[in-house]
Amino acid sequence: MTSNHPLAPRIEGLFNICVTPFDDRGELDRAALELNLERAIGHGYDGILIGGTYGEFAAQTTEERAELFTAAMAIVDGRLPVLLCAASGDAREACELTELAGRLGGLPMLTPPYACEITFEHTEAYFAELAARSATGVMIYNAPGVGATLSPAEIERLAAIDGVVALKQGELSPTSIDRLLHRLQPRLKIIAASDLSMVSTLSAGVDGLSSTNSCALPELIKAIFDATRAGRLDQARALHRAWFPLRELCRRFGQPQTTKAMMRLRGWRAGGVRAPLRDLDASQLAELSAVFADFRRQPLIESLLVD
């Protein structure tokens, strides 16, 4: 593994996982994308993630994903590092998107290939081939539920490949995080893939964290991140506990659709989700609205969130 790629030193801090806003025709809403990215940048986020699992990459064509990459990179315009999810069940699509991401100056994210009867040796060869095609290196995207889940030992082997510069780790068990931090830092940048257990993961020493809910709660997620990094753990824990009822709904209803619904409750443009996902139904939306209203009335929160 080498870390002399231009983006590697910048892959740290708090990354906003941008939901993909669709308009009434089901197409990319570029104006909404710009508003949402500028909001994250304005709140002081350290990076952006485009087209990931919660950006609904699996429901988009290669052409749509390329359009999203290009639009997002033009909006960000070099101000922050951008992770561009190039994962695909089709190696040809992954190759095309990896090359595009590197040309645009983003860091392509890759899951292991999801195919039947694949060996780990096949996965190693896949990462080696695609890493060689990116001018910026690649990030391992270890996403439980999207293809195979990589073990710490397998991640260590992939990390030895030239051009693999970072890891977005979705399997956040304490033993896995402990081993990866000990074996791979500082050679490999490690970003935790979930904000649902962010205080403990950040406290363990990961280089950063990515958050989908920061699309709807940018002030809260940033405040928790900053408090944790500054060692104000009582404050961080109190803020994190304050949104537990919302986290429960995210787990029950699904994160992208719940996050988009919360954004709409704040008057922000998010659009709906694409099939096979479904937007919240009337009863789910009523429950979310009530929980969100209670959340906003908490003394810790009422002065933090300003629409």
Residues annotated as part of the active site:
141, 168
Q: Which two tokens stand for residue 261?
A: 């619904």
Residue 195 CA to residue 225 CA, distance in Å, equals 9
DSSP bridge pairs for 142? 169
DSSP bridge pairs for 108? 84
Helices H / strands E in the chain, number of each:
13, 8
DSSP bridge pairs for 141? 168
Residue 109 CA to residue 223 CA, distance in Å, equals 27
Question: Collapsing DSSP states into helix, strand and coil, what is residue 299?
Answer: helix
Q: How far apart are the first and last CA of the chain?
A: 44
Give the Å distances, CA to CA, from 231 to 64, 192, 195, 202, 203: 42, 18, 18, 10, 9
For residue 235, give every residue at least 6 positions away whose Cβ sits within 8 Å of its Cβ, in sequence order, or none: 227
Q: What are phi and psi of 155, to 5 degrees?
A: -60, -40
For residue 70, give every residue at least 6 positions away whose Cβ sits within 8 Å of its Cβ, in sequence order, or none: 100, 104
Residue 282 CA to residue 304 CA, distance in Å, equals 28
For residue 209, give every residue at least 6 positions away whose Cβ sits within 8 Å of its Cβ, in sequence order, or none: 14, 15, 191, 192, 194, 195, 198, 201, 202, 225
Name the strand (E) or helix (H) holding 191. strand 189-192
